[in-house]
C-alpha cells in the first residue's frame, strides 16, 4: 500500500481538485484506491456526493479502527472508495497531542487498511499542525500543488525549509504547477526559475481550466464529464509520474 | 460483503421492485435496459460451464458470461463461430473459459432470447448506494432471470433493502444454473466421463463385473456422436477409456467368465478399439504440438512444421475413416450385440470364480497385483532393461484399475489417498512409456513415410532426428525417477492402508522376504 498525501500550506491552490482527480486516475488504472478527506471542510466528499455519516461525526474514530473502517464509503466508480471528512478532525490535533508516539498514530491506523487498498490518497487541510506532521511522516510521497506566482512559490519554499529544519525527508516532496495560465508572463517566468531550483518538480502541470471549476456543479471527477479537456487529462499524466516515483 | 446473487423464476417486474423498496431514505432506481438479443447458450459436452455455475451466451459477435456463484457478469468480443477457448481473442471471458477447459469444444445447447438491465439505487443526492445487474433469459414462452445486487462499501442498508425487495419479487439467493435449464425446459446432457457405479460387496463378482462393464459401455456409446461430428478430441478419448475399462475388467477379473468367453470378448473389444488407435495417436501429437516445438532448436522448426502439417492431413483422413466405421451398420450391430450381451448377462458362460463375493474377490486380486508390483519394482536398478520398467507400468496400471473398479465398496477417502499415492509413480511410468511410444512412431515415420515429403525430406528428417533425441533424453530422465517414485508409494502408510482395506498384510511379509 502506498500513501500519497496531497498537501499545501496555502489554500486555494487546487488541492482538493488534485486529490479527487488523482484518486480517480489511480482507480481507473485498476488500483484499489482510498481517498481520505482529512480536510474538515469536506470538499472531497462533496465531489463524490458522499455524506459524512452522522453517527460517526461524534466519534473520535482514529481511536478505534473499526470505526475508521466503517466510515469508508464506496464512490460511484470502480476501485475508488472514500473516507468522508469527519468533524472530529478539528479535535484530531488535540487528540493526537495527548497520545504518546502520536506521530505514528496515523500510520498505525492506515496499516489496518493494508490488505484493502493499493493506494491511499490523503487530502490534507492547508496548515502545519500535528495532523500534517503526521502526514509528512506517514506518506510515501507528498504532492504539492504550486501556482506559479510569487506568493505561492514562497509558501512552497517555506514548506521546504520546514522539512529541512525538522528533518523530514525532503525527497518525499513532489511539487507540481497548478492552475497555470500560459498567457501570463509571470507564470511562465516563475516556472522557468523554479524548475532550475527544484529538480523534483513534476514535468507535467495542471493548466487553469474552467472545466475543473465546474466539478462543483457536476460533483464528479473532471474526466467523467470533460474527458477531452487538456487539464482533465493532465491529472492522469501527473498520476503516471507519481506511480513511477513510488514504484507501484 | 459478497454480492447477493440470485435466480428469479419469473420475468423481472421493475414497478413491483420499486414498490417493494422502502421509502426511507428516499431512494430512486435508475434502470438501463439493452435491446433484446437472440443468443445461443453454450456449454461443453460434459457441462463444465453448468458444473461451475456459469452460463455462457453467444450474442452475435459477443460473448456474455454470467457466474451465478460470484454474480459476475462479463462481456467480450468474439468471432461468431468458434469452438475452443484458444480460438478466442484474449479477454476476460476467454480467461474464464481457458480455466474451464482447453480441450473441450463449447457447443450450442439452446437458442434463447435475452436482455440485460443495469440498475443503480440512488439516494437524494443521486449518489449510487447499490447496483443491480439482471439478465433476463427467455425460451419457448418461458422467462427467467439471473442477477446480482452489488454491495457498495459503507452502504449496507441500501444493499439489504434492495435484496429484500428482490426476494419479495421471488428471487432465490444463490440459485444454480440447473434451475435455469429446468425452468426453460432445456435438455441436459448429464454426461460424466467417470460413471458412478454402485456395487454390493456381498454380491457375486459376476454381478459387479456386469455392472461395471455396462456403465463403461454406456460411456463409450455416448461419445459416438461427438466422434462422428469431430467436435473435440475428448469424445474419442473418453470412448477409448470406456472400452479400455471394459477390456480391463475382462482381463483382470480372471475366472468370472469362461476362458473361451473371456478370450473372445477381449478380442471383440480389442478389434473395436484398434480401429481408433491411429486417430488417437495423431490427436495426441497435434495436442502436444507446442511442447514438441519447445523441445527442439529453432532451426529445426521448419521441418517440424512440415511434419505437423502432414500429421494434420493424416488426422483428417483417419477421422473420416473412424467416423465412417462408427456410422456403419456393421459397427452398430456389433456394439449393440455386446451391449445387449452384458445388459442381459444370461448368454455369458460363468467361470469358476463367478460366484465369489465381490469384496473377497477384490481383496484377493489387489493383494496379488500389489505383490507383483512390489516384486518387479524391487528388482529394478540402474542396469535393469527397459522392459522391466514397462512391466512395472503395466502392473501398476492394473493395480490402479482394480482399486478403482472396486472403489465403490471401500471407504472413499482411503481409496482416494491410495490412488493419490500411486499417482506420482504412475505419471512417471506413463511419461516414460509415452516418450518411448513417440520415438517408435517417429522412427516409423522416418523409415516408411518419407516418400510423402517430396523435396523437404531432409528438413523433416533433421527435425525428426532432433525430436527423437530429445524424447530419448526425456525418457531416460523419467527412468531415473522411477525408483524414487516407487519409494514414495512404497511407504508404511500406503502399506498400512492396503493391508487394512484389502488384507494385503501377508504380501508385505512376502516382499520383505524378497528384500532380504
Residue B512, pLDDT score: 43
What is the DSSP track for B429-460?
A: HHHHHHHHHHHHHHHHHHHHSGGGGTT-HHHH
Check which CATH number belongs to the domain holding B450 and give it: 1.40.20.10
Q: Which residues of A touch B152 (CB under 8 A)?
A: 73-74
Please name the residues in contact with A137: beta carbons below 8 A apart, sequence gap of 6 or more: A103, A104, A106, A107, A168
Per the listing, cell 465403490 goes with B408
The C-alpha atoms of residue B308 and residue B285 are separated, in whole angstroms, by 8
- Same domain for B363 and B351, yes or no, is no
C-alpha cell belonging to residue B465: 532426428
Asked if B338 and B364 sit in the same domain, the reply is: no
**pLDDT band at residue A78 using 50, 70 and 90 as cut-offs:** very high
Indicate whether B16 and B99 sit together in one domain. yes
| Average pLDDT of chain A to the nearest whole number | 83
Beta strands in B123-197 (DSSP E): 128-139, 142-151, 172-173
Cβ pair B96, B88 in contact under 8 A: no
Least confident of A211-220, B179-188, B311-320: A211-220
Nearest CB partner across the interface for A74, out of B123, B126, B154: B154
Q: Which residues of B touch A50 (CB under 8 A)?
A: 127
- pLDDT of amino acid B508: 42
* Boundary-marking domain end, from B327, B356, B385: B356
Strands B142-151 and B4-8: antiparallel
Q: Are B75 and B164 found together in one domain?
A: yes
Q: In 3D, which of B128, B126, B119, B67 has the Cα closest to residue B92?
A: B67
B393 with B429, same domain?
yes
The pLDDT of residue A95: 45
A116 to chain B, minimum CA–CA distance in Å? 11
* Pick from B447, B436, B426, B427: nearest CA to B471: B436
Residue B192 belongs to some domain of the structure: no
Model confidence at A1, in pLDDT bands (50, 70, 90)?
confident
B30 with B129, same domain?
yes
Residue of B nearest to A74 (CA): B153
Q: What residues pair up with B7 in beta bridges, in sequence order? A: B146, B172
List C-alpha distances in Å: B154 to A4, B24, B25, B129, B158.
23, 17, 15, 9, 9
Q: Do A72 and B125 touch (CB under 8 A)?
A: no
Q: Domain span at residue B222? A: 198-356
Report the CATH number at residue B154: 2.40.320
Judge: A73–B126 Cβ closer than 8 Å, yes or no. no
- Closest Cβ–Cβ partner in A71, A74, A219 for B152: A74
Place of cell 469508508: A72
Measure in Å the smallest separation between the Cα of A78 and chain B Cα atoms: 10
DSSP for A20-46 reads HHHHHHHHHTT--EEEEE-STT-HHHH
- The Cα A130–Cα A86 span in angstroms is 17
Q: Which cell is B104 given?
A: 473441450
CA dist B186 and B40 (Å) reads: 12
Residue B399: name the closest of B377, B432, B431 by CA: B377
**How far from B513 is each of B446, B499, B507, B516, CA to CA, in Å?**
48, 17, 10, 5
pLDDT of amino acid B334? 96
Q: Identify the three-state secondary structure at position B10.
A: coil
Shared-domain flag, residues B111 and B16? yes
Interface of A with B in 97-136 (CB under 8 A): none
Among candidates B127, B153, B154 on the partner chain, residue whose Cβ is nearest the Cβ of A49: B127
Q: Which range (A110-114, B51-55, B400-404, B505-509) has the least confidence?
A: B505-509
CB-neighbour burial class of residue A16 (10 A; exposed 0-12, middle 13-18, buried 19+): buried
Longest dimension (CA), chain B: 86
How far from A201 is each of A128, A204, A205, A243, B421, CA to CA, in Å?
Answer: 21, 9, 9, 15, 63
**Mean pLDDT value across residues B376-386:** 86
> Where among B356, B372, B395 does a domain terminate?
B356
The verdict on residue B191 lying in a domain is no
Burial class (CB in 10 A: 0-12, 13-18, 19+), A9: middle
Confidence of residue A99 (pLDDT cuts 50, 70, 90): very low
Residues of A in contact with B125 (CB under 8 A): 49, 51, 219
Half-sphere exposure of B314 (CA within 13 A, CB side): 20
Number of domains in chain B: 3
- Judge whether B189 lies within some domain: no
Residue A114: per-residue pLDDT:
60
- For B23, half-sphere exposure in the C-beta direction (CA atoms, 13 angstrom radius) is 1
CB-based contact B110:B41 (threshold 8 Å): yes
Option in B126, B128, B153 nearest A72 (CB): B153
C-alpha cell at A72: 469508508
Q: Please, which residues have CB within 8 angstroms of residue B360's CB and are 6 or more apart in sequence?
A: none
Q: Are A6 and A143 in contact (CB under 8 A)?
A: yes
Confidence of residue B435 (pLDDT cuts 50, 70, 90): very high
C-alpha cell at B232: 473435440
What mean pLDDT is reported for chain B? 91
Test B152 with A50 for CB contact under 8 angstroms.
Answer: no
Report the number of distinct structural domains present in chain A: 1
Residues of the domain holding A196 = 2-246
CATH number at residue A108: 3.40.50.300
Q: Cell 525538522 sits at which residue?
A: A166
Q: Are B112 and B79 part of one and the same domain?
A: yes
pLDDT at A11: 84
Cis omega before residue B25 (within 30°)?
yes
- Please, are residues B43 and B100 in contact by the beta-carbon 8 Å criterion? no
For residue B379, give the 3-state DSSP assignment: coil
- Are residue B162 and residue B256 in the same domain, yes or no? no
A70/B contact by beta carbon, under 8 A: yes
Rounded distance, CA B298 to CA B310, Å?
19
Residues in B closer than 8 angstroms to A73, CB to CB, are: 152-155
Asked if B178 and B206 sit in the same domain, the reply is no
Residue B13 CA, distance from chain mean position: 40
Q: B26 with B160, same domain?
A: yes
Distances (CA, A) of A138 to A44, A133, B105, B167, B235: 20, 9, 54, 46, 61
Which of A96, A156, A170, A163 shows the shortest CA–CA distance to A126? A156
Final residue of a domain: which of B319, B339, B356?
A: B356
pLDDT in tens, B187-238: 999 999 888 899 999 999 999 999 999 999 999 999 999 999 999 999 999 9
CB-nearest partner of B153 from A53, A81, A219: A81
Helix (H) or strand (E) holding B66: strand B62-67
Residue A37 in contact with partner chain B when CB distance is under 8 A: no
The pLDDT confidence band at residue A63, using thresholds 50, 70 and 90, is: low
- Quick one: B178 and B68 in the same domain? yes
Amino acid at each position: 500500500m502506498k500513501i500519497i498525501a496531497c498537501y499545501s500550506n496555502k489554500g486555494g491552490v487546487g488541492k482538493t481538485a488534485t486529490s479527487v482527480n488523482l484518486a480517480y486516475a489511480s482507480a481507473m488504472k485498476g488500483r484499489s484506491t482510498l481517498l481520505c478527506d482529512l480536510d474538515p471542510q469536506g470538499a472531497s466528499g462533496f465531489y463524490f456526493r458522499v455524506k459524512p455519516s452522522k453517527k460517526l461525526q461524534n466519534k473520535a474514530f482514529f481511536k478505534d479502527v473499526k470505526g475508521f473502517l466503517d466510515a469508508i464509503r464506496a464512490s460511484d466508480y470502480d476501485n475508488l472508495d472514500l473516507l468522508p471528512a469527519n468533524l472530529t478532525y478539528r479535535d484530531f490535533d488535540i487528540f493526537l497531542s495527548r497520545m504518546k508516539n502520536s506521530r505514528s498514530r496515523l500510520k498505525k491506523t492506515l496499516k489496518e487498511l493494508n490488505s484493502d487498498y493499493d493506494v491511499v490518497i490523503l487530502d490534507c487541510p492547508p496548515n502545519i499542525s500535528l495532523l500534517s506532521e503526521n502526514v509528512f511522516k506517514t506518506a510515501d510521497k507528498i504532492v504539492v500543488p504550486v501556482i506559479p506566482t510569487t506568493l505561492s512559490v514562497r509558501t512552497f519554499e517555506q514548506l521546504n525549509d520546514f522539512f529541512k529544519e525538522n528533518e523530514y525527508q525532503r525527497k518525499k516532496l513532489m511539487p507540481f504547477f497548478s492552475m497555470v495560465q500560459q498567457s501570463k508572463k509571470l507564470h511562465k517566468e516563475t516556472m522557468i526559475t523554479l524548475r532550475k531550483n527544484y529538480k523534483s518538480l513534476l514535468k507535467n502541470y495542471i493548466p487553469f481550466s474552467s472545466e475543473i471549476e465546474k466539478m462543483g456543479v457536476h460533483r464528479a471527477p473532471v474526466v467523467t464529464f470533460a474527458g477531452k479537456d487538456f487539464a482533465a487529462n493532465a491529472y492522469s499524466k501527473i498520476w503516471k509520474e507519481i506511480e513511477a516515483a513510488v514504484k507501484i | 460483503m459478497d454480492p447477493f446473487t440470485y435466480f428469479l423464476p419469473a420475468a423481472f417486474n421493475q414497478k413491483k421492485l420499486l414498490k417493494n423498496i422502502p421509502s426511507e431514505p428516499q431512494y430512486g432506481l435508475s434502470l438501463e435496459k439493452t435491446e433484446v438479443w437472440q443468443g445461443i447458450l453454450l456449454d461443453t459436452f460434459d457441462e463444465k460451464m453448468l458444473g461451475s455455475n456459469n452460463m455462457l451466451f453467444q450474442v452475435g459477435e459477443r460473448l456474455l458470461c454470467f457466474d451465478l456463484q460470484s454474480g459476475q457478469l462479463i462481456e467480450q468480443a468474439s468471432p461468431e463461430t468458434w469452438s475452443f477457448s484458444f480460438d478466442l481473442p484474449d479477454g476476460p471471458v476467454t480467461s474464464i473459459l481457458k480455466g474451464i477447459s482447453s480441450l473441450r469444444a463449447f457447443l450450442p445447447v439452446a437458442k434463447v432470447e435475452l436482455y440485460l438491465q443495469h440498475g443503480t439505487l440512488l439516494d437524494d443526492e443521486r449518489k449510487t448506494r447499490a447496483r443491480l445487474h439482471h439478465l433476463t433469459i427467455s425460451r419457448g414462452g418461458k422467462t427467467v432471470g439471473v442477477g446480482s445486487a452489488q454491495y457498495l462499501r459503507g452502504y449496507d442498508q441500501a444493499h439489504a433493502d434492495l435484496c429484500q425487495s428482490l426476494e419479495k419479487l421471488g428471487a432465490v439467493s444463490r440459485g444454480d444454473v440447473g434451475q435455469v435449464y429446468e425452468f426453460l425446459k432445456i435438455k441436459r446432457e448429464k454426461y460424466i466421463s467417470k460413471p458412478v457405479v454402485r456395487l454390493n460387496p456381498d454380491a457375486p463378482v459376476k454381478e459387479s463385473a456386469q455392472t461395471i462393464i455396462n456403465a463403461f459401455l454406456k460411456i463409450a456409446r455416448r461419445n459416438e456422436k461427438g466422434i462422428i461430428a469431430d467436435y473435440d478430441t475428448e469424445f474419442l478419448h473418453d470412448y477409448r477409456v470406456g472400452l479400455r475399462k471394459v477390456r480391463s475388467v475382462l482381463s483382470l477379473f480372471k475366472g468370472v467368465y469362461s476362458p473361451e468367453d473371456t478370450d473372445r470378448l477381449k478380442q471383440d473389444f480389442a478389434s473395436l478399439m484398434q480401429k481408433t488407435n491411429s486417430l488417437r495417436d495423431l490427436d495426441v501429437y497435434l495436442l502436444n504440438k507446442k511442447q514438441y516445438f519447445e523441445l527442439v532448436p529453432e532451426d529445426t522448426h521448419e521441418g517440424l512444421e512440415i511434419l505437423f502439417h502432414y500429421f494434420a492431413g493424416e488426422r483428417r483422413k483417419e477421422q473420416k475413416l473412424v467416423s465412417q466405421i462408427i456410422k456403419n451398420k456393421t459397427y452398430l450391430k456389433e456394439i449393440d450385440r455386446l451391449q445387449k450381451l452384458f445388459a442381459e448377462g444370461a448368454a455369458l458362460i460363468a467361470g469358476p470364480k463367478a460366484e465369489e463375493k465381490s469384496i473377497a474377490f477384490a481383496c484377493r486380486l489387489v493383494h496379488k497385483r500389489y505383490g507383483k508390483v512390489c516384486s518387479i519394482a524391487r528388482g529394478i536398478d540402474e542396469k535393469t532393461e527397459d522392459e522391466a520398467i514397462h512391466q512395472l507400468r503395466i502392473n501398476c496400471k492394473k493395480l490402479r484399475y482394480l482399486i478403482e473398479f472396486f472403489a465403490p465398496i471401500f471407504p472413499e477417502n482411503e481409496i482416494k489417498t491410495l490412488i493419490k499415492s500411486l499417482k506420482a509413480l504412475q505419471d512417471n511410468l506413463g511419461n516414460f512409456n509415452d516418450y518411448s511410444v513417440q520415438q517408435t512412431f517417429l522412427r516409423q515415420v522416418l523409415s516408411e513415410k518419407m516418400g510423402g515429403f517430396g523435396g523437404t525430406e531432409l528438413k523433416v528428417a533433421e527435425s525428426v532426428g532432433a525430436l527423437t533425441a530429445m524424447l530419448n533424453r526425456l525418457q531416460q530422465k523419467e527412468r531415473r525417477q522411477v525408483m524414487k517414485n516407487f519409494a514414495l508409494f512404497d511407504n508404511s502408510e500406503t502399506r498400512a492402508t492396503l493391508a487394512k482395506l484389502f488384507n494385503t498384510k501377508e504380501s508385505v511379509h512376502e516382499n520383505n522376504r524378497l528384500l532380504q
